[in-house]
Copies of this chain bind each other. A is one copy, B any other.
């Protein structure tokens, strides 16, 4: 395992160093449980609450780690990133602005000139400089490169970048300290920064752990992680998924794909209806505000496909642990095991579920007008 990790964008040592850097700056988020949801899932669910992280999502970990890793000379010139839309969810741009503010250095955030003003507030609040450009990917990349050239600022990509991956990996370190008996961890996936960071940490510390990605397929059936895993190579020709989980629309990159390819044991594709049902359970039963992207992990655990995918993934993990790395053999073993996945008979496992973000706007979603005083 130790040698294997040198193949990837972050090693266990990198993740441990990130944990040292963020200590006292990022929150050690709590792990919550619910007997009602355990009953529904048939497993003992351990909810890792990144909704309580600084900024309301996990993104601060990677951004802070990236900014802290800069040398004094680099740092002085600041950091730059670009975003299509400054989404509520998992806002790398806002997290980077905050991390830069905490180090007292400039942050340049390139955004398309059609981005809604309200989404720019967090970046401004954290003292980031907004730079507007034409609303195309090419314009954003060109503008970011121009800003970097002019200012000497370091480009910090949102996910496909070692220091970001190492920072997000600290979630995995923490979770295994909090729940050493963890058997499985279910992680929402977008560009794969959080997924690959957690996977690298978890597999290094506990090779027998099973990692399952939760991916929205969207109404246009555009789940690139599942498709790439099936094909054994990175599938890049799928459109962006049309989904309520607006934080999960990025695509795997060159640094995240190898981790997903080699170390992630399964993928459960989920629908928007499943995501909203999971949000509702978290809201009503656990009293937690979780955005659609953040609820994807619970949606996967409660999906009808979970038991079969888990059985396959466990067989895959066991086969790898036994020294056989043949996916085909593992899949064959998995399809035998899958028959045992029915709810009543299944073995209760300790399943970590990452609630990765909770940034919802109360007034956007709340039916205040339907809500009358009681007489």
Q: Which A positions have Cβ atoms within 8 angstroms of B? A: 30, 49, 51-52, 56, 87, 218-219, 240, 242-246, 249, 272, 276, 279-280, 283-284, 286-290, 358-368, 370-375
Contacts of A374 in B (CB 8 A): 87, 242-246, 249
Q: How far is the CB of A64 from chain B (nearest CB, A)?
A: 16
Contacts of A56 in B (CB 8 A): 287
Instruction: Across the A-B interface, give the 3 residue pairs with the lowest CB-CB distance, nearest first.
Output: A246-B374, A287-B358, A287-B289
Q: Which residues of B contact A51 (CB under 8 A)?
A: 287
**Inside 8 A of A363's CB, which chain B residues have their CB?**
280
> Are B373's CB and A218's CB within 8 A?
yes
* Chain B residues whose CB sits within 8 angstroms of the CB of A358 once the complex forms: 287
> What's the least CB distance linking A343 to chain B, in Å?
20
**Partner of A287 from B87, B249, B272, B288 at Cβ < 8 Å:** B288
A245, B374: Cα distance in complex, Å: 7
**Contacting residues, chain B, for A87 (C-beta < 8 A):** 374
Residues of B within 8 A of A361 (CB): 284
B243 touches A362 (CB 8 A): no
User: What are the residues of chain B within 8 A of A246 when measuring CB–CB?
Assistant: 374
With a CB–CB cut-off of 8 A, which chain B residues contact A243?
373-374
In addition to A284-B361, A288-B289, 17 A-B residue pairs with Cβ atoms within 8 Å of each other are A30-B30, A49-B287, A51-B287, A56-B287, A240-B375, A242-B373, A242-B374, A244-B371, A272-B373, A280-B362, A283-B360, A284-B289, A284-B360, A364-B367, A364-B370, A365-B366, A366-B367
Question: A366 to B360, alpha carbons, bound, how many Å?
Answer: 12
B-side contacts of A375, CB under 8 Å: 240, 242
B-side contacts of A364, CB under 8 Å: 367, 370
Tell me, in angstroms, the Cα distance from A244 to B249 when the chains sit together: 38
In angstroms, how far is the closest chain B Cβ from the Cβ of A118?
13
Q: Which of the residues B284, B367, B373 comes within 8 Å of A219, measured between beta carbons?
A: B373
CB nearest to A375 among chain B residues: B242
Between A52, A246, A366, the greatest number of chain B beta carbons within 10 A of the residue's beta carbon is seen for A366
Considering the chains assembled together, what is the distance between the CA atoms of A275 and B365 in angstroms? 17
Query: Is A276 in contact with B368, judged by CB distance below 8 angstroms?
Result: yes
Question: Are B242 and A362 in contact, CB atoms less than 8 angstroms apart?
Answer: no
Cβ of B367 and Cβ of A365 under 8 Å apart?
Answer: yes
**In the complex, which residues of chain B have a beta carbon less than 8 angstroms from the beta carbon of A286?**
52
Min C-beta distance of A186 to chain B, whole Å: 19
Residues of chain B within 8 A of A367, CB atoms compared: 364-367
Measured between beta carbons, the chain B residues less than 8 angstroms from A365 are 366-367, 370-371
Selected A-B contacts with CB under 8 Å, 17 pairs: A52-B286, A52-B287, A219-B373, A242-B373, A243-B374, A244-B371, A244-B372, A245-B374, A272-B373, A280-B362, A280-B363, A283-B362, A284-B360, A288-B288, A289-B289, A365-B370, A365-B371
